[in-house]
Amino acid sequence: MMRDQKLWTWHVGAGVVILVLLGLHMTIMHLDAILEFTALNPAGGEPIDWQNVVARGKTLIFPVTYILLLGAALFHGLYGLRNILFELGPNSGLKKALSALLVVAGLGLFILGTWSALASFTLARSL
Amino acid sequence: MKDSTPKEVLYRVRRFEPGRDQVPHWQDFTIPRTPGMTVLDGLWTIKQTLDPSLSWRSSCRMGVCGSCGMLVNGRARLACNTQVTELGSGVVAVAPLPNFDIIRDLVPDLAPMFDSHAALMPYLVREDVAEQEKPTGEFAQSQEELEHYLQFSYCIKCGCCMAACPTVATDPVYSGPMPLGQAHRYNADGRDGGFARRREVLSGERGPWRCHFAGECSRVCPKGVDPAKAIQLMKRELVWDYIRLRKAPRPACVSPKPTEIRRRPDIPEAPARTI
């Protein structure tokens, strides 16, 4: 019976994780001129310059945070979508089917995203 | 100065008689407007002079009993607490509260609301049943503890919040603002120890999780209660509970009756207990 209490708590927790990691992302990407992140942008120029992206991609912290953000965003977004769909008034059988579909979609996207993050890490290390 | 107030008012009333009507329909009545006339007064005038079959629920006529909740000019209100002049129109459109089945005319079926209310144990839940049956004193409570729940205790269960709630309109499982607000009222009461038992209902689909904080329940409440706030506070308590950070207060202890205080002779003795 604790299912909704549990899911809501994780939903809120995922929101906090997104807030922190997206804040980090915005800081690194858009405040570089003010904060001068020379360690993160060793080639100088823009944070999205290829050499800077490769340099950041070589450190393990980036794929780890990508995967963490991906998991948090997927859970947060798909749980919210599930709530919206449930408000359309499906019967209990359809609710279970929708939940299963969203879990499968979420896991599929998580696996795909994780593979992408690890592949980019491997690629960056090889350059 | 000439009085420009119209002498008559048009009542547009939603009618439905089970067995005769397939769907509700509107019926118009024109009645004299009197000074200080409430929507409920107008309904009584219609019943006494035009159509004795018109049905609604009312009792106290003073915004206390919560019986006469209805949709007046598109907003859930107490008919007894709404002046016709405050509506600012010559037309008073009266319909039963939405989000409930209609029993007849303006009488909604409030039974599902009260079933949800009862399921959430809207009373003090304590281990010391004997003390509650035969009190030896009072449960101690400070003014600060009282204020944790005081405003929620003003709820008169009229159902206006349920009628205004968009989630109740779409989700038949959701308990709704009145039962949830009242569950919080008791969870927040320092004399209560029933959080764990109410959680059995609150942690599932009937709990506060589908509320998207539209705030309509609080806007329409005729008693100024803020059920939307109660629901958000309840969510917070349940989240803290899930991550084991909720401080579970012990239910207030019994404060024995004072023995050394003497009644002043100019104050009459209290009447004998009746229960």
Q: Judge: A9–B243 Cβ closer than 8 Å, yes or no.
A: yes
- How does residue B2 score in pLDDT terms, banded at 50, 70 and 90? low
pLDDT tens-digit map of B88-147: 888 999 999 999 999 999 999 999 999 999 999 999 999 998 988 888 888 999 999 999
Interchain CB contact of B175 with A (< 8 Å): no
Domain extent, residue A7, equals 3-126
Nearest chain A residue to B241, by CA: A5
Domains of chain B (ranges; CATH) run 8-108 (3.10.20.30), 111-242 (1.10.1060.10)
A33 touches chain B (CB under 8 A): no
Can you give the pTM of this predicted structure? 0.88
Instruction: Give the span between the Cα atoms of B213 and B204, in whole angstroms.
Output: 18
Which residues in A lie closer than 8 A to residue B202 (C-beta atoms)?
5
d(CA B226, CA B238): 19
* 3-state secondary structure (DSSP) of residue B143: helix
Is residue A105 within 8 Å of B232, Cβ to Cβ?
no
Q: What tens digit of pLDDT does each residue of A63-95 get?
A: 999 999 999 999 999 999 999 999 888 998 999
ipTM: 0.83
Model confidence pLDDT, tens digit, residues B234-264: 999 999 999 999 988 888 999 887 788 888 8
Chain A interface, best mutation among B120, B242, B246, by max A CB count within 10 A: B242
Nearest chain A CA: its distance from B10 CA (Å): 37
Residues of chain A positioned with their CB less than 8 A from the CB of B242: 2, 5-6, 9
Q: Residue B1: which pLDDT band, with cuts at 50, 70 and 90?
A: low
Say which CATH number the domain at A60 has. 1.20.1300
Domain count, chain A: 1
Are the C-beta atoms of B100 and B115 separated by less than 8 Å? no
Give chain B's count of helices (H) and strands (E): 10, 9
